[in-house]
Amino acid sequence: MWLPVLFLIVGVLLGLLTDIRVPEEYANYLSIAVLAAFDTLLGGLRAHLEEKFDQKVFVTGFFFNVTLAAFLAFLGVQLGIDLYLAAVFAFGVRLFQNIALIRRYLIERGRYRKQTEKNQRK
Amino acid sequence: MKLRSKIIFSFIFALVGFMVAIQFQSNQIPEERDTRDLWEVRTDLQEQQKIQQQLYSRISELDEMIQQYEGQSQTEKVATLKQSIIELRKKAGLTEVEGDGIRITVKPIFQELNSSQTYPTISPSLLQRLINELNTYGATDIAIGNERITNISPIRDVNGNTYVNNHPIPPLPVEIKVLTQSPKRLLDYMQVSKSKDEFAIENLELSITAEDEMSLPKFEQMPRLNYLEVDENAETGEQ
């Protein structure tokens, strides 16, 4: 798991060093997109822990979710409805669910390991 | 995980990191730096010192008044009280005042145009701007026609006529008398003021002359202070 973490750090550094700023009008879209990206990432992590990870689903999900969220925000601005709240809500709920599931898997995995160690000692 | 999927996974991680970094950076407000140089700081300091000096002189004036109140017999106290009432009435514009100042005559300009021209009038906003400008340049007392301008004088449009102190201003030419401590300076300022241009747009001409010993009428009505209340909680300075 060290490669993705390394890449994450590289990405953050790249973003900080290039000094790109998004104009304030578009900050909304980017924030929604970031939220969608987080959601997809955690979803991918969960699927990996569940051993159901599918690369195609993950990659398409990432790009599709990010675009959809930005589009929803755009539509909301055009119609005068705060549609981005829908995206925030949906992604927020899923974020929490995914994190909870990941925590549970990790705990269970820890327990399983302890038990196997005990069994081996016997 | 296969290497290929690992690389794709990592790539997307990098993308997310990049997005987060940009978002973070966009939300960061650049801190405002103090870029004044030595001279600017010095002039600012001088201005503040001037203000401080003025405040000190006002404090000493008021202190003196308090001492007069305290160190006097009953009759003298009443006299001081009357004196301060007279001063306050003068400040509020309830008495006639005399002094040096400038006289502004507002006259219509007639241009030789083919289209017909209506007789120009002074609009309230023009008057307000003029008064603001006069006050900025150090006017102490202002009268428009026979109406003395006080702190609570209304200038407004009533059915197309301009009313000052709830009386319509007379038709043009109108005289505006302004008292000031340095008439020469105010005259110079007004000669090059923005108001001249603004009045010219409305076909009005300002002719300005300095004059000695002008007398301004008093504010005729009772000052209405219905909406003023004594704020007993307010303490100036530290709490």
Can you name the residues that pair with B214 across neighbouring β-strands?
B99
Sheet of B97-108: strands edge to edge?
Answer: B147-149, B139-144, B174-180, B97-108, B204-216
Tell me the mean pLDDT in the region B131-136.
87
Q: With 60 as the cut, is the pLDDT of residue B237 above it?
A: no
Residue A4 falls inside a structural domain: no
Give the model's confidence band at B239: pLDDT under 50 very low, under 70 low, under 90 confident, else very high.
very low
- Would you call B26 and A22 a contact, using CB atoms and an 8 Å cutoff? yes
Question: How far B36 CA lies from chain A's nearest CA (Å)?
Answer: 27
Phi, psi angles (nearest 5°) of residue B117: -120, 135
Alpha-carbon gap, residue B14 to B8, rounded angstroms: 10
Q: How many CB atoms lie within 10 A of CB B207?
A: 11
* CATH code of domain B97-216: 3.30.70.1880
Q: How many CA atoms lie within 13 A of A86 on its CB side?
A: 13
List of E strands, chain B: 97-108, 139-144, 147-149, 155-158, 161-164, 167-168, 174-180, 204-216
> What residues in B contact A12, CB-CB < 8 Å?
17-18, 20-21
Residue A12 falls inside a structural domain: no
Residue A77 falls inside a structural domain: yes
Question: How far B29 CA lies from chain A's nearest CA (Å)?
Answer: 11
- Would you call A20 and B22 a contact, using CB atoms and an 8 Å cutoff? yes
Q: With 90 as the cut, is the pLDDT of residue B45 above it?
A: yes
Residue A113 falls inside a structural domain: yes
Domain ranges in chain B? Answer: 40-92, 97-216
Residue A99 falls inside a structural domain: yes
Domain extent at residue A35: 24-121
Residue A8 falls inside a structural domain: no
Q: Give per-residue pLDDT as tens, B179-233.
A: 888 888 888 888 888 888 888 888 888 888 888 888 888 887 777 777 777 777 6
Tell me the mean pLDDT in the region A81-110.
88
Residue A7 falls inside a structural domain: no
Question: How far B35 CA lies from chain A's nearest CA (Å)?
Answer: 23
Number of domains in chain A: 1
Give the model's confidence band at A1: pLDDT under 50 very low, under 70 low, under 90 confident, else very high.
low
> What residues in B contact A91, CB-CB < 8 Å?
none
**Maximum Cα–Cα distance across chain B:** 105
- Say what the pLDDT of residue B42 is: 92
> What residues in A contact B7, CB-CB < 8 Å?
3
Residue among B12, B27, B29 with most chain A CBs within 10 A, to mutate: B12
> What residues in A contact B17, CB-CB < 8 Å?
7-15
Residue A1 falls inside a structural domain: no
Q: Can you tell me the ipTM of this complex?
A: 0.78
- Would you call A11 and B22 a contact, using CB atoms and an 8 Å cutoff? no
For the full predicted model, state whether its pTM sits above 0.80.
no
